[in-house]
Structure 1
Amino acid sequence: MRQFVFLLIVWAMMVACSADSPSDVGTDFFNEGVLDYAFIDSSTVKLSTIKLEDLSTNGGTRLLLGSHADEKLGRLTMSNYFQVTPSSSSDVTLKYVDNISYEHLLLVLKYDKYYYYDTTQNITLRVHEVTQTMELDKNNQLFNDKTFTIDQNPLGTVTFQPLPHRIDSVVIKLSDALGQDLWNKATNDSEQLTNSTNFLRYLKGLAILPDTTTSTGIIGFTITPELRLYYYDKSVTPSKEKYIAFPASTSNIVYTNIHANRLGTKLTTLKKTDERLSASVTDEEAYIQAGAGLELRVDMPYLRDLKMNTNFYMTQAILDMYPIRKSYSDVEPLPSALSVYLADKKNNIYGQLSNKATLVLDKDLGRDTKYSLDVTAFVKSQMNLTEFNENALIFTIGTNYTVSADRVYMGNNGINYKTKLRIYFVTVNN
C-alpha cells in the first residue's frame, strides 16, 4: 500500500511538471471539459535473467568454434560434432588408376563471416575421431549440451589467428595413419567407401574441440566441413594434385555443442527454466546470451493499480532499456533489435509482439544508447485484467539465436541506468 501511495505522489508530481497547455481537442468524447496531456516516467519496472531449456542446434545455419571467458557470464565454449560421407560426385575407387600416390589428409572449414569477441587472439583447435554412433533423438534433434564419445588422441591440431574477412577457410592437417588407411581402401575398392552407410560404420564422425585454457573469439563456419584425401596424379606432365572429397551435407549430423560454465559468476543459482534471477542480485544488470539460452524478463508491477484513478486515460506506453556502457564494442556489437514474447509467472510463452525492441544509438556520447519499444497494447491488456497475475515480457535475440554468441548487459535501476516505462495519458478538467 505504501508503495502504491508513493506511486500516486510521483504521478501527481509528474503531472504538475510535465502537463502541456490545456487543449479542447477531443473534448467531444469527454462531454464538456478540457484535456490535459501528461506522462508518468515510471521506475516500477523490474528486470531479471531467465534460462531457457537446452536449445536444438542441429540443422542450424552455421557452426561455432571457440572458447571465451566473459566477465559477467562465465566461460562459453563452442565445439563441433559432425559426420562426413563420400561425395556422390567423387570417384573413391582408384583401384585401376596407375601412377598415383598418397599426399595428405586435410579437414577444410569454411568461414561464414560471423565472429564475436576479439579475433586478434590465436585459436587452437583439435580434431578427434568420434567413436560412438551418432544419432538424433526421437524428434530428430540434438541439443546444445549433447556430446559423443571420442578418441582422446587428436587426429590433428591447428593454431591460427582468425581472419574471417580476409581468407575463406581454415585447413587442418590430419593424421597420416588415417589418411593412409583411407588411401588403401580407396585404391583397393573397399566396400566401406561405396556408400554413406558403410562409410559411417568405418568413420562414425569427427569432433572439433577448442582450447579452453585461453580466452578467444567465437568464430562462425559454414555447415559444410569437408574431409579431403589428397593424392598426386603422375600420369600427366607436370603431375597434378587432386583430392577425393568427403563432405558433410544436410543428410549428415552436423551441430554445435555449447557449454556455459557459470562458476565464479552471480548466475550460478539460476538452474531452472521457471526461475528468474532478479537484477538486484546481479549488480543491477540483467542479461541476454544467445546460444547459451539466457534471456531478459521485464516485469511491470502495479499497472492494474492505475485503474483506481477514474480520471485517467492512457494513450501510449513506451519502454526504454539501457545497455551498460562499455559492455559493447566493434567486436561485441549490440543486436539491432530484440524479439519480444509474452510470458506468464513461470516463463511460459503465450504470445509474441509483432514489433521489436529497436536499438537507438547515441553515436556522439554513447550515454543514451537504448532499446525502445511501444508496449501500449501490453500495458492496456494488463490494466484491463481483473485477476492478479505476473505476466511479463521476454526479450531475446531474434536472428540465429541458437547459433550465435551475441550478448547484452541491460541496466536495471541504478545510479547511471534506469529502465523506464513512460506512460502518456490525459486527464479531463471540467
Structure 2
Amino acid sequence: MKLIRYFSKRVFTPVSTVFAGLYLCISMSGCQWGDEVVALKQQNPDDFMVLFSDTSLVKLSTVALDSVMTGGPDRLLAGRFTDPYLGKMHATTFFQPTFVSSLGIPDLAIYDSLVFKAPFDKYYYGDTTKVMNFSVHALQTDILLKSSYFNFYTTDFDATALGKKSFAPSPTTVTQAVRFKLSDVLGKKIFDQSVANLLTSNEQWMDILKGLMIVSDDKDNGSVIGFKSSNDSTVLELHYHTAEKDGVTRGVGTFKVTASYNQILGDRTGTSLAKLPEYNSRASLSSEQSGNKAFIQEGTGIMMRADFPTVRNLKYVQYSVPNRAFLRVTPLQRSMEYPFTPPPTLHVFLVDKYNQFYKSGGIPIPLSDLAGKAVTGTYINDMINNKQYYLFDVSGQFTTILASASEETNGLMFVSSALSGNSSFPEYNTEFSKGLTRLVVGDQLHPSEPGVKLELYYTTYKAP
C-alpha cells in the first residue's frame, strides 16, 4: 500500500488539527510491514510551542442533596461535635436485634444481665479525647415497616433510657467493643419468656422489644464514632448461669443486628452555608454567597461543583490546541487542623445545569480521563514544600466542552467516595452516606487562600 499525502503550511484550527491527526493515525494503522510511505511532508517542529496557563476561571458552588439514603449501612454512627465551618453535627443510630431461634435456656438457670455489645469499625470524626455520654433507648415502632431510610428520618422511642455509658473512645482499636449494660427489667422479661418457652418467634420477640437506638447527650462536643453493624459480634446478649455440683456454668443467648439506619443532621445556623436551602433537591449556593468557599460533607449530602466557563473561548483562539488539563484543589489550611481531617480521596461525576447526575443504567457517570479511566484525586501531603492538595486530570472535560456545539455544558461534581451500583440510591452504604468527613476549599477570589487552579497545557502553531 502506498500512502501519499502532502501537508501545506496552511493555518490549522484546533478542530482541523485534531481531525488531521486522527486521519493520519487511522491511515497509518491500515499499513502493513513493508508498505511504502512516500511524499509525507511534516511540519517543522520549530513552528510549534507547548505553553502553560493557570489563569482560567473556575467557578465553585456548594450543592446539597435533599436527603441521603442511610438505611442498611455496615456502620452504626453515634456522637456529636461542633464544626467551626459547618455548625453543630450529630448522628444517632437506630437498629433492630432480631430473633432467630429459641435461646434454649435451662429450667434451673439464673438471670445475670442484658448487654448490648458493639465493636468499633475504625471510623471516627472529631475529637476522641473528649468523653462521650451515650444512652440506649427502646424503639416504639418496627423499623422494617419502612423500606428506605434517609439521614433526616427518626423513629419514636421511649424517653427513659435502658442504659447509659460515658467513655473516651478508642475507635481505631478494632478488637475493642463498647458494652452497654441494659435494664434488668427488660432482661428479666426476655429471660422469663425464654424459660417459659413463650419466646419462639420473631412476632413474640417484637412484642418485647421492637428495636434500640443509641444517642449522645445534647451537651456533648467531641466526635462521631462508628460501630460495626454487619458483624456477628454486634449483638444483644442475655447472660445467665446455672449452679451445678461441679461449679457454675455460664451461658449467653444472642440476638444479632439485622436492620439499621443512621440519622445524620447538622445545624448550619450562623455558618457560611446558612443560606443553603434544606430539603430542596440539588439546591446550590455559589461560593460568592458562602464567604468565597465551597464545601463537601458526608452524611448530610453536601457536594462541591466546579465549572469552567471560559474554556469554550479556546475554540476561537487560532493556531492553538489544548493538550492536557489538570484541576488543583487546595483545602483551606486551617480547615484541616485536628480533629477535622480531609477526605483521603475525592471522586468526580458529571452533572447537568440542574445539578442532576448524568446516568448510565441508573448509575451516575464519573468523569473519565482521555484513556477512559474514572478520574479521582488522592489527598497529597507534600511535606517538603508544605503543600496539601488534590490533583484531577480534567482533560476529558475539556474535550467535551470544545467538541460541544451547545453553549450549555455539564459541570463537575466532587464527592468523598465512589457511588454504589444501586440505581435508586447510588449513595447507598458508601462513605458518602455513612460518615461526616468534610472539606473546605477557597475559590479563586478567596482573600487569603485561593484554593482552585486550572492548569492547562496547550500547543500553539506559530503562523508564518
After TM superposition, is the score higher than 0.5? yes
Using a 3 Å threshold, how does the CA distance of structure 1 residues 169 and 360 change in structure 2: closer, same or farther?
same
Following superposition, the deviation at residue 29 of structure 1 comes to: 6.2
Structure 2 counterpart of 1:231: 240
**Corresponding residue for 1:362?**
382
TM-score by length of 1: 0.86
Shift of 1:173: 1.1
Shift of 1:247: 1.7
Secondary structure of the residue that 2:264 maps to in structure 1? Answer: strand
Aligned to 2:426: none
Amino acid of the structure 1 residue aligned with 2:320: F
Tell me what 1:247 maps to. Answer: 256
**Residue of structure 2 aligned with 1:219, choices 221, 225, 232:** 225
Residue 142 of structure 1 pairs with residue 149 of structure 2: yes
274-283 or 346-355: bigger deviation: 274-283
Classify 1:29/1:412 alpha carbon distance in 2 versus 1 (closer, same or farther; 3 Å). Answer: farther
2:404 aligned with 1:371, yes or no? no
Note if contact 1:51-1:295 (Cα within 8 Å) is conserved in structure 2. Answer: yes
The match for 2:63 is 50
Amino acid of the residue matched to residue 164 of structure 1? P
Mapped pair 1:265 → 2:271: yes
CA contact (8 A) 2:56 2:311 kept: no
Change (3 A) 1:165 1:40: closer
**Which segments of structure 1 move beyond 6 Å, counting only runs of 4 or more?**
none
- Structure 1 residue 106 displacement after superposition: 1.0
| 1:284 is aligned to 2:285 | no
Hey, what does 1:64 align to over in structure 2?
A: 77
What is the alpha-carbon distance in structure 2 between the residues aligned to residue 132 and residue 29 of structure 1? 77
- Identify if the C-alpha distance between structure 1 residues 236 and 169 changes in structure 2 by more than 3 Å, giving closer, same or farther: farther
Residue 381 (structure 1) aligned with residue 400 (structure 2): yes
Residues 93 and 188 of structure 1 are in contact (CA less than 8 Å); yes or no, is this contact kept in structure 2? no
Matched with 2:28 is none
Call closer, same or farther: CA 1:390–1:260 in 2, change over 3 Å: farther
CA separation in 1, counterparts of 2:129 and 2:327? Answer: 37
Q: Partners of 2:217 and 2:380 in 1: how far apart?
A: 37
Would the alpha carbon gap of residues 136 and 346 (structure 1) be closer, same or farther in structure 2, given more than 3 Å must change? farther
Once residues 277 and 383 of structure 1 are traced to their aligned partners in structure 2, the CA distance between those partners, rounded to angstroms, is 27
Counting only pairs closer than 5 Å after superposition, residues 10-409 of structure 1 correspond to structure 2 as 34-88=47-101, 91-94=102-105, 97-98=107-108, 100-137=109-146, 140-166=147-173, 168-190=176-198, 193-223=199-229, 224=231, 225-235=234-244, 237-249=246-258, 253-271=259-277, 272-329=280-337, 331-350=339-358, 351-353=365-367, 354-364=374-384, 366=386, 368-398=387-417, 400-409=431-440
How far, CA to CA, are the matches of 2:145 and 2:304 in structure 1?
Answer: 30
The answer to whether the 8 A contact 2:121-2:172 is kept is: no
Q: Which 5+ residue runs of structure 1 have no aligned equivalent?
A: 1-26
Task: Give the partner amino acid of 2:435.
Answer: S
Map Cα deviations across residues 121-178 of structure 1 (whole Å, 9 max, x no partner). Answer: 11111111111232354xx321121111111111111111101234510111111111
Are the structure 2 counterparts of residues 209 and 236 from structure 1 closer, same or farther at C-alpha, using a change threshold of 3 Å? Answer: farther
* Counterpart position of 2:12: none
- TM-superposed deviation, 1:390: 4.8
Which residue identity lines up with residue 152 of structure 1 in the other structure? Answer: A
Superposition deviation, residue 79 in structure 1 = 0.6
Q: Distance in 1 between matches of 2:41 and 2:81?
A: 62
User: What do you get for the CA RMSD once the two structures are aligned?
Assistant: 2.1
Provide closer, same or farther for how the CA distance between residues 173 and 38 of structure 1 changes in structure 2, counting only shifts above 3 A: same
Contact 1:144 1:258 (8 Å CA) reproduced: yes
In the alignment, is the contact (CA less than 8 A) between 2:133 and 2:220 conserved in 1? Answer: no
Q: Compared with structure 1, are the counterparts of its residues 295 and 236 closer, same or farther at alpha carbon in structure 2 (3 Å cutoff)?
A: farther
1:422 corresponding residue in structure 2? 455
Amino acid at match of 1:324: L
Normalised by the length of structure 2, the TM-score is 0.80
- The amino acid of 2:432's aligned partner reads Y
**Residue 247 of structure 2: SS of its match in structure 1?**
coil
**What runs of 5+ residues in structure 2 fail to find an aligned partner?**
1-39, 359-364, 368-373, 418-429
